[in-house]
Each structure stands twice: as C-alpha cells, then as structure tokens.
Amino acid sequence: MTTEVKPQAAVAELMDGIGRAARGAAQALALSSSAERNRALQCIATRIRASSVDILAANKADLGAARQQGLGHAMLDRLMLDANRLDVIAAGVDAIAAMPDPIGRVISQWQRPNGLAIQRISVPLGVIGIIYESRPNVTIDAAALCLKSANAAILRGGSESFRSNTALHACVRAGLSDAGINVAAVQLVPTTDRDAVGYLLSSMSRWLDVVVPRGGKGLIRRVQEDARVPVIGHLDGICHVYLHTAAEVGMARDITVNAKMRRTGICGAAETLLVDRANADTILPPVANALLEAGCELRGDAAVCAIVPQATLASEADWATEYLDAVISIRIVDDIEQAMQHIRQFGSAHTECIVTEDQAAADRFCREVDSAIVLHNASTQFADGGEFGMGAEIGIATGRVHARGPVGAAQLTSYKYVVHGCGQVRG
C-alpha cells in the first residue's frame, strides 16, 4: 500500500500533472459523441465484472486494516464490498450508459422580436474533482456520471478504501482504453497524502471547474474552508419524520421504521421523529415498539419518556446529531408550526417527511419546509438519485447553488447560449 507522505513540491508536481491531463481530456470529451461515451461505460462495466476477484481481495485488505484501526460498524458497512454490491455497481454503470445523453440537449429556445433565435444548450462542466470518504462504490458512480456528462474526473477517495478504489479505478482505466478514450478522463489521485487534497482545493483552479465533496462534516467543512473553486456541497442529513395528528397509524409505523432502520448509514436515514401531541398517546406506542423490535435505541424528550418507558432522555445535542446508526431522537410537538420550527432550527435542509391524511397540512409542510427534498407519506430513504429515476447519483446536494437534492449526470452540466442571426446589430 502506497501511503507514503510526499514532499510539498512533489505533491504540487503530481497534482498539476493530473490537472493538466484532466483539462486536455475534458476538451476532447466535450466534443465526443454520446455513442463513444456510452461504449466506454459498457467497457467499464465489463471490466468490473471480469475483475471481481481482484476487487474483492483489495476490499478484504481494506476491511482488515479498518478493523485493526477499530473503525465502527457504520464505517465498516460503508467500506464493505461483496459480490452482490459489486453486481449492483456494475449494473449501475450499464444503467447510466442506457440513459439519455445529458449533453447537447436544447434546454429551451425562443425567438426575439428582432429575429435572433436563441438556444440554451447543455454542455459539460469541464473537470470535476470528487473528494469522498469510505464508500468505494463512489469511485465507479462518480467516474460513470462524469463520463456520461462528458466531464473529466479527478477522484480522491478515503485512505481506508485506497486499495478498493485503486482496484476499481484500474477497471475504469481499462474500460476507457478499451473504448479508445483518453484514460486521463478519469484519474484517481495515487496517494493518500492529505496534502494532495489541500493542493487540489487551493491551487488547481486552472485545471478544476468544480469540487464535489461527499462525506462527513469534517470533510465538508474543510472543503468549504479551503476550496478556491466552486463546490457542490453535500452536507449531513439530519432528516425528520413528522407524524401529524391526521397520520394513519400503520403507515406512520411502517414509514418511520423504514426511514430509520432500512439502512442507518445513509444520509437519507431519519434521525429525529416528531409527533403531534394530540395523538402521541395512540400513535407513539406502536411506532416505538416497532422501532425497538427492529433494534433501534430511542432517545426522547420528557413527554416521550412518559409514554415510552424504554426511551432514555434526549439531550439538546441529540436534536442536532446525525447518528448514522440505530438510534433515533423523538420529540413531542404542539402542532405543525412547532414541527416546522424544530426542523428549521435543527435540520440540515436535506430530507423531511410528513405523514398525514390531511392534504392541507401536507401541502403546507411541502411548501414551507425549506429542504432539498420534502416527502408526504413516503420514507426519507427514497432520497436517492436511483429512486428518483436519475440512474445514479454522486450524492445529495444540500447547498442551494447549482444543484440541490440528488446529483446525477444531468446535474453535472452547465449550458451555453447559441444565437443565430442574419446580421442584427444592437440599436
């Protein structure tokens, strides 16, 4: 494993070389055909399937090292690959290949009174830097989405998944090469030296058009602090399920358990349950029991603890915590107003859900709650590009600029205006 720390100058030389090559690859990609890029994606999927033994061996080595370092269950789950997950990853690449081309699309067009015909046409962003943590599937998802949208990618994964990422990236290189595309179109930073991230963020604006961080708070904070290029931010998901007075009990139970427990380590997992005071006595016991049966720890306010004896008292910090684990905080609220106030105060503007049979309450919640995704009567775990029909996602953006919510290939584009005239001059 190559975790050597490089001297500063060597890092700069390495990274500038990567950046220069990426810029060149991006210029060629921007003019490539949809068929060429889709063929490269298919070649990558084929290479992943053919290399599963190598990839899983590399992943096993990463997992062993991670266990030795004492990484927690949620982290190990994020890091782990098996034959099934690898199949899903390869199928995801094929699915992206089968999607419509997001580039060269006439987004809108109109004619001006003076005869100018204006077209707004989608174009690639250029070179995208993706900085991520433990999930090795991001290596492939990000590579495939960038390639689909004709962007060059510079990938920088977490050190704990370095072996897995290197094995997966070898498949990308081989697939690009099979399809006759410049392998610099998708590069993996070949060192775990942290200085490489600093250099990428602060000193590569010549080569880099945007950075997409995907990971925990510490990473995001660092990127936002240090980046001298635009960031498509992915922050933490403190997602709420709100059980309104008019919630149907069975639906409330099923949605809450799914939102929290289907997979606890993803950003769309619910972290806080809000329950209207008016029906807390009837709705909370069955919901709490179902959560307990599913193995979830409950932390509630005093009113919750009075109804649910198994709940421990939540501290103020609980409301602002993204557990990413089998723990949920529960609070009784007076009404929809207080529920929305709680979400405004403690939420991360990622994904929230209201469970209610009252359409007016649902409409108000959907209109007034200012989160990237607001769901009515559906689990927060649907906060996912695949579930939205985008094929795959690079993450869920919680910033307000450029893209918000699932970031798929179509969100990794810019646009330009093409204007046809017949000699018009401005008066």
User: What residues make contact with its own copies under the rule CB under 8 A?
Assistant: 30-31, 110, 112, 116, 118, 123, 125-126, 205, 209-210, 224-225, 228, 230-232, 248, 251, 254-255, 257-259, 262, 362, 366-368, 370-379, 381-382, 384, 387-389, 399-402, 404-405, 414-426
Q: Looking at beta carbons only, is 20 or 376 nearer to its own copies?
A: 376
Nearer to its own copies, 297 or 387 (CB): 387
Cα distances from 301 to residues 230, 307, 316, in angstroms, run: 40, 10, 9
- Which residue type sits at 327? V
Rounded Cα distance, 145 and 158, in Å: 19
Cross-strand bridge partners of residue 117: 111, 420
Specify the residue, 191 or 380, whose C-beta has the smaller distance to its own copies.
380
Q: Please name the residue that has the structure tokens 């490089």.
A: 6
- Cβ proximity to its own copies, 125 vs 142, nearer residue: 125
Query: CA angle 243-244-247, nearest 5°?
Result: 80
Question: Encoding tokens for residue 239?
Answer: 């997602």
Closest approach of Cβ 290 to its own copies, in Å? 12
Kindly tell me which of 60 and 222 has the beta carbon lying closer to its own copies: 222
> Minimum distance from CB of 426 to its own copies (Å)?
4
Shortest Å, Cβ 258 to its own copies: 4
Choose between 158 and 406: whose C-beta lies nearer to its own copies. Answer: 406
Q: Tell the smallest beta-carbon distance from residue 368 to its own copies (Å).
A: 6
Give the residue from 334, 216, 329 showing the smallest Cα distance to 266. 216
Q: d(Cα 6, Cα 196) in Å, to the nearest integer? A: 9
- Residue 308 Cβ vs its own copies, minimum distance, rounded to whole Å: 22
Q: What angle do CA 216, 218, 220 make, to 5 degrees?
A: 70
CB-wise, 30 or 170, nearer to its own copies?
Answer: 30
- Dihedral of CA atoms 406, 409, 413, 415 in degrees, nearest 10, equals -110
Residues 46, 156: Cα–Cα separation, whole Å: 23
| Closer residue to its own copies, CB minimum distance, 325 or 382 | 382
Q: Position 207: which residue type?
A: W
Shortest gap between Cβ of 254 and its own copies (angstroms)? 5
With CA atoms as reference, report the closest residue to 187 among 173, 206, 201: 173
DSSP letter for 127, please.
E
Strands 327-333 and 210-214: unpaired
| Farthest CA pair distance, the chain | 79
Which of 70, 389 has the CB closer to its own copies?
389
CA distance between the termini of the chain? 66
CB of 381 to its own copies, least distance (A): 4
CA angle 196, 199, 202 (to 5 degrees): 150
| Closest distance of CB 315 from its own copies, Å | 23
CB contact at 8 A, 329 and 300: yes
Q: Give me the least distance between CB of 344 and its own copies, in Å please.
A: 8
| Angle, in degrees to the nearest 10, between helices 194-203 and 8-30 | 60
Q: How far is residue 275's CA from residue 244's CA, in Å, rounded to a whole number? A: 6
Give me the least distance between CB of 182 and its own copies, in Å please: 17
Of 61 and 118, which CB lies nearer to its own copies in the complex structure? 118
CA-based R_g, the chain, Å: 24
CB of 124 to its own copies, least distance (A): 8
User: Burial letters for 231-264: b for 16+ Cβ neighbours within 10 Å, e otherwise?
Assistant: bbbbbbbbbbbbbbbbbebeebbebbbbbbbeeb
